[in-house]
Structure 1
Amino acid sequence: MTASNRKQAAPCGTWSSPITAHVVAAGAAPLSQVMLDGADVYWLAGRASEGGRNTLLRQRAGAVEEVTPAPFNVRTRVHEYGGGAFAVAGGGVWFSHYADSCLYRIGADGEPAPVCAGGTLRYADFVADAPRKRLVGVREDHGAGHAYPVNTICAIGFDGRETVLVDGNDFYAAPRISPNGRQLAWLCWDHPRMPWQGTELWLADIAGDGSLLNGRLVAGGPGESICQPEWSPSGVLHFVSDRTGWWNLYRFDGGVVAALCPREAEFGSPHWTFGGSMYGFRSASEIICTYIEQGVSKLARLVDGRLCPIDHPYQEIRELRVCGDTLAILGGAPTIALELARIDLARGTREVLARSIANVPDAGYLSVPQTISYPSANGRTAHAFFYPPANADFEPAAGEKPPLIVIGHGGPTGMASSTLKLATQFWTSRGIAVLDVNYGGSTGFGRAYRDALEGQWGVVDVEDCVAGARYLADQALVDRERLVIRGGSAGGLTTLCALTFHDVFKAGASYYGVSDLAGLDADSHKFESHYNEYLIAPKGEADAVYAERSPIHHTDKLKRPMIFFQGLDDKVVPPQQSEVMVQALRTRGVPVAYITLEGEGHGFRKADSIVRTLEAELYFYLRIFGIPIPQGLAPVAIENLAA
């Protein structure tokens, strides 16, 4: 190595990096909900520079065009988390506009025209029933007179008239019409279950007037989670079930349910949002599917019960759609940010249509994660991705071990992936290691691993994060005296519990995190209003457990500095969850910073919000650990911290 390209030794945390907060924000172009309509590919792209607006894009005849120009925001708030916000069929396009909850149709002139009234009614997961000139989808009625909104499956005529087709259950999803238009399949479930605990798959005949007849239960129940019902081209109903402990593929034919490919792998995912898809039909006899093994996605053809791998560069596949020889997927890998690719299955070619990050930084500044498994409490094994620091220009000072940020994902029935995320590389390119933990309760490792969190939220997740930090410190890979934990939403509770009930981490950051479980119950929306009965305890036993686990009741044990970030429009975890905790730390003299964001909800979408929070979090850690502050980094007011 010559002097001109020798790395410079510098304190971890001070390394200059091309991955600035502005670069992270500019790269924040979320891609979601892929659909195919013949040769046309549709997808949603988030625009952080436009206040987080979702726009619908289409590739047609090799050219990409915007279907929904500003101010249209293709988004729905059914179940608060949304998804399934548009449908396409036979050249027609329908979508939900976030501002008024109304459904719109793109006319022949390309201009959106309203289909329904919107207002207190919200719509999601709708499909076109063209012969009957209507959409069939999930409707959520937020009108007066109900403790919670009322969910139904509804037909919305192209003329705006609406008819309820199915009601009586607390929740519905995935209404799917058979190819011949004579049958409708759908999912439903009731409180207190979440859809990854127990759902039912129903089937009914469609009468001549469009109503439903002869509804019957096909599969599912309180202890079986069904997801993604789909019809094959020949009219055979397929679905995913975790009846064996793993989400596997099944078909319902001639009144009999048959497994297609029993395997210790996940062919489905939790229903947090509508419209997800992990398999589709190339023909009546061939399925193209993605599945997860040990947290990593695979892609394959399924023919006669055999999986035939399809070559691809991705380690995470979030969604796929199939139409003949055309496959559209959302995928990513450690050096590939989430992207939309179109694959020609006959030719074996791949074309990238859209990237969530337009300009990926030079590989020298990217940390490629190591997949690790390590021992945790009570004999459990936990899983995580470890990102060591990486920077083409810098290395740690002699004898220095890097600080570590441990991330607990949200959900908590979520999953950390290894897909390139600039928000992670922001830290590693500055000399700070990251551990992204798939704690017990995470998806991707089977139902038993998912159910490890039953009654144990705030315990198992915390133990696995603590064990991961200790494991890396014991391996001399990180500095034991500079261990940090951060998390958002459910991950925020993990963060607060780790700092309150354990003495491993030296600081933490909570993004719209849960501090008071009883308060979460009081403020929760319908979808999650009974979730804590599974995560914590049944209502009759909950009060004592809530008091035991809620950090807000144990602030005397919390002695570590913290920074809080909170969207003021958050309806999932309202601001008071952060404010009460901040006030408690303020009163006790613990160093604390509190950043609020106008116009942001549960998750930050605006570019300036992303910049502000990342830079504030970095500044906070540098001050707490006495690391020199880089020039130009805006200061943050930290109470109870000496200058």
Structure 2
Amino acid sequence: EGDATERFADLVWEGTAIFAVRERHGRASEPVNDLVRIEVASGTVQCLHSGHDFYAAPRPSGDGRLAFLAWDHPNMPFDGTQLFVVRYDDGSDPSATTLVAGGAQESVVQPEWCAGRLVFASDAAGFWNLHVHDDSGVFVALEEDAEYAGPAWVFGSSYYVPVGPRHVVARRVDNGVPSLVLVDLDQGLASPLDGDCSSYAALTRTPRGVAFIAGFADRPSRIVELELATSRRTDIATPPKPAVPVEVISVPEPLVFSSTQGDAHAFLYLPKSRDVDVPEDELPPLLVTTHGGPTSSTTASLSWRVQYYTSRGWAVADVNYGGSTGFGRAYRERLNGAWGRVDVDDCAACVRHLVGQGLVDPARIAIRGGSAGGYTTLAALAFTNVFKAGASHYGVGDLEALAADTHKFESRYLDTLVGDADAMRARSPINHVERLNCPVIFFQGADDRVVPPNQSETMRDALAAKGIPVAYLLFDGEGHGFRRAENVRRVIEAEYAFFARIFGIEPAGGLSDPDIENPPSRDPCPLP
């Protein structure tokens, strides 16, 4: 192998060995992945399976069987995966595997052993529903139009956990709204356990029940334990108590609105403040936020960035555009071949819905997003006339460059989301700077290798040349996303101050403007 280097992830310990996904870097054009067993005492590495582009979720059964997931380019794990079982303790050829479920058009997620049976989630019927594999074959434990799992963006995500021979505790998401349920795998019944949280993540077994990260709409997330015998929920680890009283927190309302591909979803946060007086005859400005991924989702959990705006008299719409998870496979696949179209249409439709309801000021509409959400933001600014200002946080401007210089995991992602090189060029905002005609502020990491600074700088220069207000903040030592607390604070304050200046609003807190080229007049004057 020459100068090959090895890396291991998704480690699971059983007995004297560790099972892991191995990634080898060498002379090949991309890293090579396989599934291995490592004897702890000797360090001996045995390859159990190879030949697929990706592996995940090695799960030993305790009786000599190993379940795992595999998939190949151009799929992402939420497009199509295969679930295999291999024996590793009887001297048989470890490559003699059994295919349990999955395929190019079926996403299988999170295999777990439960009293000798294999539990997994599959979206073969359109939603990630729970299935069971035993000696008789595979059966659907519970089939309904709700999600019992999510996209495998990272190793180790846990959406459900076995708690007995035939029961699992699972996160259930119905049209983007989560709850916690107890599923009887044999009876096909889901009994409610908890519905007070706005998100449930990282479920794990405890002696008395389950622990998880609980999100709330009106207070910070925390680690809690739910005791199954009593249904009592106890905080295990909590963040410091915020200085903001709960009565000034804007709690979101789920929003469903019509768009080009059918109903779309968002969370609406209305202004709520003790310090900012908004005249009764004045509609609030609106900030539309776009999540990353783009195959991801936003939840109703407390976001201080959202509250920063609502406490200053703004409404915020956090959009789960077509392509988001939590609404079934068909909704997720709306974005296939249509990134930069469906997501943009849904954001624009959300604005039109809120304007039509008389809830926001149509002359003061801003949009903000980071990374993939930054791409949606830039595309919305370039290809619609709905938005009056925008903020791009290390947003993707050049799809071709992203496809050519990204890591193995996402290297074929745009094949599905966009298409061929011609489609990428046609939908790259950097190729349509002449259509950027409203004020934009760009936030960029100097060390960003995913979205190099020159992409933001090209669009900044085009706006400046046209005399349009534009700002560009470059942060040394930051990459694709900002990590330093002082930089995060600077970004939030500069974005708000920029929007306030553009919309003729006196910024709360006496913030100074960022360095704006072609600054607008300070006279309060709503944009036409």
Match of 2:282 in 1: 400
Q: Any conservation in 1 of the 2:178–2:195 contact (CA below 8 Å)?
A: no
Shift of 1:482: 0.4
Q: Any conservation in 1 of the 2:74–2:412 contact (CA below 8 Å)?
A: yes
Q: Any conservation in 2 of the 1:524–1:573 contact (CA below 8 Å)?
A: no
Shift of 1:336: 3.1
Uncovered stretches (5+) of structure 1, i.e. residues with no partner: 1-118
One-letter identity of the residue aligned with 1:480: P
Please show how residues 282-431 of structure 1 align to structure 2 within 5 Å: 282-303=163-184, 304-356=187-239, 358-359=241-242, 361-378=244-261, 380-431=262-313
Give a deviation string over 1:598-617, Cα, whole Å, max 9, x none: 33333323211210110110
Q: Any conservation in 2 of the 1:153–1:167 contact (CA below 8 Å)?
A: yes
CA RMSD, 1 decimal = 2.0
Matched, 1:583 2:461: yes
Matched, 1:217 2:99: yes
- In 2, Cα distance between the equivalents of 1:423 and 1:167? 44
Matched, 1:451 2:333: yes
In structure 2, the residue corresponding to 1:394 is in which secondary structure?
A: coil
In structure 2, the residue corresponding to 1:337 is in which secondary structure?
A: coil
Q: Any conservation in 2 of the 1:523–1:574 contact (CA below 8 Å)?
A: no
Deviates more, 1:554-563 or 1:333-342: 333-342
Matched, 1:165 2:43: no
Which residue, 422, 434, 438 being the options, matches 1:560?
438
Shift of 1:470: 1.4
Q: Any conservation in 2 of the 1:241–1:248 contact (CA below 8 Å)?
A: yes
Judged with a 3 Å threshold, the aligned counterparts in structure 2 of structure 1 residues 384 and 631 are, in CA distance, closer, same or farther, namely closer
Please show how residues 127-146 of structure 1 align to structure 2 within 5 Å: 127-129=12-14, 131-132=15-16, 134-141=17-24, 143-146=25-28
Give a deviation string over 1:176-235, Cα, whole Å, max 9, x none: 00033x011100100001110100001100135798353121110100000000001x21
Matched, 1:199 2:81: yes
Shift of 1:516: 1.1
Q: Any conservation in 1 of the 2:439–2:468 contact (CA below 8 Å)?
A: yes
Corresponding residue pairs, total: 516
Shift of 1:535: 0.7
One-letter identity of the residue aligned with 1:231: W
Which residue, 200, 220, 229 being the options, matches 2:111?
229
- In 2, Cα distance between the equivalents of 1:255 and 1:187? 21
In structure 2, the residue corresponding to 1:396 is in which secondary structure?
A: coil
- In 1, Cα distance between the equivalents of 2:74 and 2:287? 35
In structure 2, the residue corresponding to 1:613 is in which secondary structure?
A: helix
Match of 1:476 in 2: 358
One-letter identity of the residue aligned with 1:504: V
One-letter identity of the residue aligned with 1:552: I
Shift of 1:364: 2.6
Aligned identity (percent) is 44
Judged with a 3 Å threshold, the aligned counterparts in structure 2 of structure 1 residues 210 and 580 are, in CA distance, closer, same or farther, namely farther
TM-score by length of 1: 0.77
Uncovered stretches (5+) of structure 2, i.e. residues with no partner: 522-528
- In 2, Cα distance between the equivalents of 1:280 and 1:568? 42
TM-score by length of 2: 0.93
One-letter identity of the residue aligned with 2:478: E
Match of 2:162 in 1: 281
Q: Any conservation in 1 of the 2:87–2:94 contact (CA below 8 Å)?
A: yes
Judged with a 3 Å threshold, the aligned counterparts in structure 2 of structure 1 residues 488 and 435 are, in CA distance, closer, same or farther, namely same
Q: Any conservation in 1 of the 2:183–2:189 contact (CA below 8 Å)?
A: yes
One-letter identity of the residue aligned with 1:403: P
Matched, 1:633 2:507: no
Which residue, 61, 66, 86 being the options, matches 1:184?
66
- In 2, Cα distance between the equivalents of 1:236 and 1:638? 62
Q: Any conservation in 2 of the 1:523–1:573 contact (CA below 8 Å)?
A: no
Match of 1:490 in 2: 372
Give a deviation string over 1:556-589, Cα, whole Å, max 9, x none: 1111111111223334333333233223323333
Matched, 1:438 2:323: no
In structure 1, the residue corresponding to 2:517 is in which secondary structure?
A: coil
- In 1, Cα distance between the equivalents of 2:460 and 2:30? 30
Which residue, 476, 497, 512 being the options, matches 1:619?
497
- In 1, Cα distance between the equivalents of 2:87 and 2:472? 55
Judged with a 3 Å threshold, the aligned counterparts in structure 2 of structure 1 residues 357 and 443 are, in CA distance, closer, same or farther, namely farther
Please show how residues 92-103 of structure 1 align to structure 2 within 5 Å: none
Q: Any conservation in 1 of the 2:434–2:462 contact (CA below 8 Å)?
A: no
Higher RCO, 1 vs 2 (CA within 8 Å, ≥6 residues apart): 1
- In 2, Cα distance between the equivalents of 1:470 and 1:123? 48
Q: Any conservation in 2 of the 1:207–1:213 contact (CA below 8 Å)?
A: no
Q: Any conservation in 1 of the 2:286–2:361 contact (CA below 8 Å)?
A: yes
- In 2, Cα distance between the equivalents of 1:253 and 1:339? 36
